[in-house]
Amino acid sequence: MMIDRGARPKGVFRRFCWDWTSIHDWLWRRDCGWHSKVWDRIWICYATPSTRSTTLRRRKIVTWRPSRLLGQIKWIMRIRLSRSSVGDEEKAALARVIDRGYLGMGPEVEAFEQELRSYIGFDREVVCVNTGTAALHLALQCLDIGPGDEVLVPSITYVASFQAVTATGARPVACDVTEDKVFLDLKDAEQRVTERTRAVMPVHYASDGSGIPEVYRFAARHRLRVIEDAAHAFGCRRDGQRIGADGDVVCFSFDGIKNITSGEGGAVVTGDKKLAERIRDARLLGVVKDTQKRYQSQRSWQFNVLHPGYRYHMSDLMAAVGRTQLRKIDRFGESRQRIGKGYRSALGTFPAIRLLNLEEGNIIPHIFVIRVLGGRRDKLCAHLSGAGIESGVHYRPNHQLDLFKADYRLPRADKLGDELLSLPVHVELTEREQQRVIDTVRAFEVSWFNEKRKNGPFKKPERY
């Protein structure tokens, strides 16, 4: 039995089917009037999300009350905050490596590095590793940053940035961020510079690196090395060039939800050939010149070690997936930019929400972050979750964590730590799903507006 948009089912149906659209309309209209009916087995047919085909699968839901049915339908229709976009091409790439019988670091990694170099341009050295955190760690260590040294890091970043510094024995120094971009505040960083400061690690937060040129001028004044944490920014541009085409050291991440993925993975990009050679050795436990052997599916048996190293190398399995994803970066970028533009257009005038001031045309949004004002961030997060929509917090300020606790205040980071909320962004997000996110946020805004109006005079926004 198919229920059309206007139908109001009556009685108890032992077994029936809805199409995806009817479920959506029923769930969000909430006017079916089934309050005390007892339900038995219910079969729901839905389109297979991975193929986007019209093929229908059946999923059995067993429940005895409509309220429980609502929760289970929401689970099926849940909108994820982020997800990988992989398919048959990635499976074929993995099968190719498995059939060859050599799964470790080999010719696929070499090919991936060459393709990344061609994509980024400007004769840069590219060294692939197994995570973005490993990329940061090796970059710092191979710059001889260690115990007794300090590295300036914006407090609002993923904890990986701080842990990479700690792994070298150095001390990460938390700095405040700008309110409009959540970027390293150089005025605050100026106050944190000491004779022990060796480097600064700006973070391309939410894929935006428009403040990077000022960081290099700051670093030049204080004679610091610059390690760019560009985990969010692969494929983005600045001044007409792709991120990584210039700069001291740039580190990317290719984990499962980034702009492209290799399952897990990362890369160090630099113009310093000696530094790149040292990183190549360090990713293979410090074994000198072992990289060339690995590229030929071999390994060194008579070798030397000059510096500490780790098992941070990328495998051919990971590289095969990464190479396939790299060929899709333009399509992925267009999809993510469309989603970002849709959010900015719809949410830009909401009175209780502020958008970040990012260079929309130059970035491929890894995340889309809004500021929720009035101390209502957690309430909006719960409201979205209740509607079957995932959201996230990128990130809790690191200077609030016990390991990196600071004995000074960072007022903007503290404030933003209570306001930032990430909305769903991934290549598989449909326009209809995005509209559902927007409508849910709008409903929350309307309730906020009505509450403010009850509490006293309030100027009505134009949108309403």
Which are the catalytic amino acids? 258
Alpha-helical (H) ranges within 193-272 are 212-222
DSSP 38-74: ---EEEEEEE-TTTT-S-EEEEEEE-SSHHHHHHHHH
Taking every pair of Cα atoms in the chain, the longest distance, rounded to a whole number of angstroms, is 80
For strands 241-242 and 237-238, give the pairing: antiparallel
Q: At what angle do helices 132-142 and 273-282 cross, to 10 degrees?
A: 120
CB 262 within 8 A of CB 325: yes
CA atoms within a 13 Å half-sphere pointing along the CA-CB vector of 170: 31
The rounded distance, in Å, linking the Cα atoms of 417 and 403 is: 17
Find out whether 340 and 368 touch, Cβ atoms under 8 Å: yes
- Upstream peptide bond of 395 is cis (omega within 30 degrees of 0): yes
| CB contact at 8 A, 445 and 351 | yes
- Residue 78 to residues 44, 45, 346, 429, Cα–Cα distance (Å): 15, 15, 21, 11
